[in-house]
Amino acid sequence: MLRHGLFSRLHRLQALCQLHQPQSSSLRLASAWINPLISHVDPGRAQEVNAEKLFTSPEVQELLTKLTGADLQNKIFRSRRISTPQNRSHYALMTDERWEKTMERMQEEAQHFLQFIPLKEPRVETTETLIVDKEIAGFDKSKFVFTDISFDATDQDRTVVVREVDGSLRTATPEEHDRMNRVYYEKSNRPVVEPAVFSDPYLQDALDRNEHEFLMDWACMYFEVDDPKFISLSKTVYDRIIATKNFDSLYSTRHFGTLVFYLAINNNLPPLLNFFANLGQLSECASLVRLQKSLYPDWRLAIGSYDSDFKILQDYVKQNTRFKQELGDVASTDQSDVYGILKGVISTKLPTLRFNVTMTLDDCFCFLCQAYLHASWALNVNDGHILDELRNFTLFRN
Amino acid sequence: MTTLRAFTQIRFNTVNFFQRRTQQELWKTIRSVSKSGEKKGRRSTRQPERPLHRFYRIGAGPLRVQFPGLNAPLEVKEEQPMKIIEQTPEEMKDGQLAIRKQLEERGKTKKRNKEKLHPLERGFSGNQVVGQKLGPPPNVEGANLENFQSYCLEIKRTSNMTGVFGRVHTMSALVITGNGQGLAGYAVGKAPLHRTSVAIIKAMGMASRRLFFVELLENRTIYQDFYAECRNTRVFAQRRPPGFGIVCHPRLIRICEVIGIKDIYVKVEGSTTNYLALTHAFITGLLNQETHQQLADRKGLHVVEMDPNRHFLPQKVASPMQSAVKAEDELTEMDRLNLDDFYGEGRYPLKKQKPPPFYANLPEHLEAEWRKHPFRNQKDVMVRLLADGMVPRWTRTARREVAEEKSRLMEQGVIPIPTGIGLSRIIPKKEGN
């Protein structure tokens, strides 16, 4: 009888809490992921952005996956210290067929390690007052916290309410909620005191040592993704990466997608464009522009369905003349921004193209001719450098 | 100038027992042992013969006198008369005790004769040479062996029965030498009884002339797990990851050091004290290894390494050079075998579980364990609190500082002096007294 009564009370309380769920969509401020310091989005538009929804849309996810890259040898499966160090290497005998199959399986395995961290807005800090019982005001000098530790309650949906000293009953703040979770269900990876590396000067030390990936992984272990501290920490790390142009530290890790999204949603592409251009990846540059245009669709700037990668990039540079300075990094001294990117692409691509087995020589030649035509068209001059490269290439081909 | 006369000893009846006998006779009186006593081993219980003449220094006495020709050069300059210096009281005291002191010290210094070796450089047991570093062997013509290191693995006395001499004993020494980079050699040297060092030197010389080369994986471990045997000794060696160290029989540790193996685990079964058989078995196993390149050529397949530190990402280590790589349908059952099972000849070392201690299930022990149970997390919490800086470190220095501060306050009268067991009541002195 008593138990029944207790349960029904608990359920009533739960229902009450659900009834008073804060309405997050009704009055929303600008996304936490829009940083006015690096943003080039006009403020009116920034107000409308729904970062969570944009991030989870399949089109964006696909583009982000493509942009993340998958470097098995030097990034995803590089030699790491693992918890069972006494294990020795295995050796096996393989045919060519078996080798290829194994490598394919490793590619799939790598995708498992590249799952993006969910991008969330910081959780709402407001609380709801459920009941005010004036008659028990001043019942004690301390607040009472009631926590639902029944079997089916998870850490996220657990009911936690606080009886204030003045007699009012309110839902717990997220911080109180976390503390109660920690009291009843301790997790070894979440000690009470926040690790010192998440704040300066130790944060800067870690970043100076290029420990970006380790730091972000640890942050994921320690914080919930919608914790305001996690979001501000991620933003700090990303901002410092952008400032030092150290994209390589997170490239081909699970955090790179978020970084790309952060730059795209702030409409600040030049640093990343320069990074990809330096790697000689024209298609990645184009994907980045596609991503940006899908986040902020505009019929005047839309991408045609038959546009080549180069055309997309070229259009982007034309439409954003204000980035001339930033893109000039690659563009060197020339008048056209396109030329710089193109030069980067060609100069890095050429040596790799020659020895790339999967690409036939004709493909290479087509690519180069196309590049050359675009370049000459854009520059309206016969550029000696590109011509030389082409000549060399044709010689090599013959 | 003092005269000698006052110190001249005047003797009466100078011829006594001690002066009538020679030194040898005198010693005999206290050292002599009868024939039957000697058989019973009483010789060792007697006083040793002390070289007393060594302690008597001419001219040493209350006054130090220089006698030309005895304790001073014969030609004395005429201007300088005989020199007499008075002794200080301390020197006089020392002089009387000099002999005793010297004798007492002799026993001590004898023990200190040998230099103390570092624990890592000591041999297998006591002060014995077995297991100590012996340094490089002498250079063989045309070869410089200076970076070699040698170890003696065994010294034993062997015997042989002959018709003429009866039982003839011989010293036999097993020595291994190597440069720590795969080059090594071992040999047994023999010498007549008690000529141990000769046996070792002979063995060292022979070992340096019979060198062999062992291929090592990454210059630190063996290529594959192997099984090898010699007589009743069976050896199971296993490849290990970097940083594992050498875990094996002490003699095998020395062999590994000399060859340059850094990570290995070896289990020895059967006779573990036949060191020659042990050495022979282990080295045979090492020499019978095949490298990855040889394996790839023999099998016509890629040899692929999968490192757990790289999430088992395959890396080609060797590919067949002579022939083309086999296709999947050409493979036999043998080719599909797990490589680790391939080399062990189907033999595995016996893995014995450590038996639980006798007290494991005693009620007292179980109760004691249960009493500890509430405090099982205490240490972790302590470490965590110290690491987070929540609790100040209660070090010796901190404790002293607190105590000093407290005592200062007590002296000033800020804190009352505690009335403990010895200070139950402090009765102030009356001013009148």
Residue range(s) of every CATH 3.30.160.20 domain in chain B: 149-213
CB contact under 8 A, A95 and B240: no
Asked whether residue A24 carries a pLDDT value surpassing 50, the answer given is no
Minimum-distance CB partner of A92 among B241, B306, B309 = B306
Of B303, B309, B384, the CB nearest to A79: B309
B307 lies within 8 A of chain A by CB: yes
Q: Residues A370-397: what's their mean pLDDT? A: 54
Out of A232-241, A307-316, B374-383, which region has the weakest mean confidence (pLDDT)?
A307-316
Residue A30 lies in a domain: no
Q: Where are the beta strands (DSSP E) in A10-143?
A: 90-94, 129-132
Which residue in this structure is represented by tokens 């002498």? B138
**Where residue B212 falls among pLDDT bands split at 50, 70, 90?**
very high
Q: Looking at residue A22, what is its pLDDT?
A: 46
Q: CA B307 to CA A21: how far, in whole Å?
A: 50
Of B267, B284, B282, B271, the C-alpha closest to B231 is B271
Looking at CATH, the fold of the domain delimited by B226-343 is given as: Ribosomal Protein S5; domain 2 (3.30.230)
According to the model, what pLDDT value does residue B258 have?
A: 95
The lowest-confidence range among A255-269, B168-182, B334-348 is B334-348
Put simply, the answer to whether A91 touches B243 (Cβ < 8 Å) is no
The answer to whether residue A296 sits within a structural domain is yes
In a domain, A34, yes or no: no
pLDDT-derived band at A397 (thresholds 50, 70, 90) equals: low
CATH 3.30.230.10 segments of chain B: 226-343
Residue A283 within any structural domain of the chain:
yes
For residues A108 and B139, what is the distance between their CA atoms, to the nearest angstrom? 59
To the nearest whole Å, the CA of A71 is away from the closest chain B CA by 12
The encoded tokens of residue B424 equal: 């139950």
For B239, the closest of A88, A95, A192 (CB atoms) is A88
pLDDT band, very low/low/confident/very high, at A25 (cuts 50, 70, 90): very low
Residue B423 confidence (pLDDT): 61
Q: Quick check: B224 and B289 in contact, CB under 8 A?
A: yes
3-state secondary structure at position B293:
helix
Helix (H) / strand (E) containing B23: helix B23-31
pLDDT at A384: 55
Q: What is the DSSP letter of B269?
A: E
Note whether A143 and A165 are within 8 A (CB).
yes
Distances (CA, A) of B415 to B10, B406, B422, B429: 79, 8, 18, 21
Q: Mutate which of A86, A93, A202 to test chain B, going by most B C-beta atoms within 10 A?
A: A93
Neighbouring C-beta atoms of residue A88, cutoff 10 Å? 18
- Residues B312, A90: C-beta atoms closer than 8 Å: yes
Tell me the HSE value of A223 on the side-chain side, using a 13 A CA sphere: 25
Query: Which tokens sit at B347?
Result: 């033999």
Query: Stretch A218-224: mean pLDDT, rounded?
Result: 93
Residue A391 is predicted with a pLDDT of 61
pLDDT, tens digit, 9 for 90 and up, residues B103-118: 677 666 555 556 778 8
Residue A190 lies in a domain: no
Residue type present at position B310: R
- The answer to whether A167 and A136 are in contact (CB under 8 A) is yes
Nearest CB among B302, B308, B384 relative to A191 is that of B384
What part of B 273-292 touches A (C-beta under 8 Å)?
A: 292
Predicted pLDDT of residue A359: 47
The burial class, CB within 10 Å (0-12 / 13-18 / 19+), for A218 is middle
Of A286, A197, A237, nearest in space to A117 by CA: A237
Q: What mean pLDDT is predicted for residues A264-279?
A: 86
Distance spanning both ends of chain B, measured CA to CA? 66
In angstroms, the CA A187 to CA A183 distance is: 10
Residue A112 has pLDDT above 60, yes or no: yes
Residue A334 has pLDDT above 70, yes or no: no
A198 to each of A34, B138, B155, B367, how far by Cα in Å? 21, 62, 63, 45
Least confident of A327-336, B121-130, B306-315: A327-336
pLDDT for res A381? 41
pLDDT band at B175 (very low <50, low <70, confident <90, very high): very high
Give the total number of structural domains in chain A. Answer: 1
Residues B328, A95 contacting (CB under 8 angstroms): yes
3 state SS of B4: coil
Query: In whole angstroms, what is the distance from residue B377 CA to residue B67 CA?
Result: 84
Pairing of strands B233-239, B226-230: antiparallel
Residues 275-334 of A with CB under 8 A from B: none
Q: Are A81 and B310 in contact (CB under 8 A)?
A: no
* CATH fold of B149-213: Double Stranded RNA Binding Domain (3.30.160)
pLDDT at A355 over 70: no
- DSSP assignment of B63-87: EEE--BTTTB-S---TTSPPPEEEP
What's residue B254's pLDDT? 95
Q: Do A97 and B309 touch (CB under 8 A)?
A: no
Terminal Cα-to-Cα distance of chain A (whole angstroms)? 94
Which positions in chain A touch B241 (Cβ < 8 Å)?
Answer: 85-89
CA distance B211 to B283: 12
Strands (E), A124-258: 129-132, 144-147, 160-163, 168-171
Question: For residues A292 and A301, what is the distance between their CA atoms, to the nearest angstrom?
Answer: 11
Nearest CA distance, A309 vs chain B (angstrom): 33
Residues in chain B within 8 Å Cβ distance of A103: 314
Binary contact (B339, A92; C-beta < 8 A): yes
Q: Are strands B226-230 and A90-94 parallel, antiparallel or unpaired?
A: unpaired
Residue of B244, B312, B384 lying closest to A86 (CB–CB): B244
SS3 B208: helix
Query: Which residues partner with B236 through β-bridges?
Result: B227, B267
Residue in B183, B229, B231 with CA at minimum distance from that of residue B207:
B183
Q: Classify residue A384: in a domain, yes or no.
A: yes
Tell whether A91 is within 8 A of chain B (Cβ): yes
Cβ-in-10-Å burial (0-12, 13-18, 19+) of B4 comes to: exposed
Give me A171's structure tokens.
Answer: 């839902």
Mean pLDDT of B162-175: 93
Q: Cα dist. A359→A63, A71, A352, A365, B385 in Å?
A: 23, 19, 10, 10, 60
Instruction: List CB contacts (< 8 A) between A106 and chain B.
Output: 313-314
Q: What is the pLDDT of residue B233?
A: 94
Q: What is the mean pLDDT of chain B?
A: 86
* Long-range contacts of the stretch B210-213 (C-beta < 8 A, 24+): B210/B185, B210/B186, B211/B183, B211/B184, B211/B185, B212/B183, B212/B184, B212/B185, B212/B283, B212/B287, B213/B182, B213/B183
Range of the domain at A293: 267-398
Partnered with residue B228 across adjacent β-strands are B235
Cβ pair A193:B388 closer than 8 A: yes
| Contact A189/B at CB under 8 A | no
Would the CB atoms of A106 and B313 count as touching at under 8 Å?
A: yes
Chain A residues touching residue B311 (CB < 8 angstroms) = 76-77, 109
pLDDT score recorded for residue B38: 86
Beta bridge partners of residue A251, listed in sequence order: none
Reduced to 3 states (helix: H, G, I; strand: E, B; else coil), residue B3 is coil
**Residue B376 CA to its chain's centroid (Å):** 39
Residue B329 is predicted with a pLDDT of: 87
Chain segment B43-80, per-residue pLDDT in tens: 888 888 888 777 777 777 777 777 777 777 777 566 66
The predicted-structure confidence for A44-89, as pLDDT tens digits, reads as follows 787 888 889 999 999 999 999 999 988 899 999 999 888 776 788 9
Q: What is the pLDDT of residue A55?
A: 93
User: Do A317 and A311 meet the contact criterion of CB atoms below 8 Å apart?
Assistant: no
pLDDT digits (tens, 9 = 90+) for A31-42: 888 888 888 888
Residue A159's pLDDT band, with cuts at 50, 70 and 90, is very high
- Determine contact, residues A110/A70, Cβ cutoff 8 Å: yes
Contact residues on chain A for B340, CB-CB shorter than 8 A? 90-91
At residue B229, the 3 state secondary structure works out as strand
Distance CA A120, CA A32 (A): 9
Helix, strand and coil in chain B, % to nearest 5:
35, 20, 45
CB B255 within 8 A of CB B279: yes
Please check whether residue B167 is in contact with residue B160, taking contact to mean a CB–CB distance below 8 angstroms.
yes
Give the SS3 label for residue B335: helix
Give the 3-state secondary structure of residue A238: helix
Nearest to B301 among A81, A95, A191 (CB): A95
Does the CB of A84 have a partner CB in chain B at under 8 Å?
yes
CB-CB under 8 Å, A109 with B311: yes
Restricting to B residues 242-261, those with a Cβ less than 8 Å away from any Cβ of A are 243-244
A89 contacts in B (CB within 8 Å)? 241, 305-308
Min Cα distance B377 → chain A (Å) is 12
B388 and A84 within 8 Å at the Cβ level: the answer is no
Q: With CB atoms and an 8 Å threshold, state whether B309 touches A95.
A: no
Mutation site, A76, A95, A100, interface B, largest B CB count within 10 A: A95
- Tokens 């209660």, residue? B394
Residue % of chain B over a pLDDT of 90: 48
Query: Which range among A19-33, A355-369, B168-182, B321-335 shows the weakest confidence by mean pLDDT?
Result: A355-369
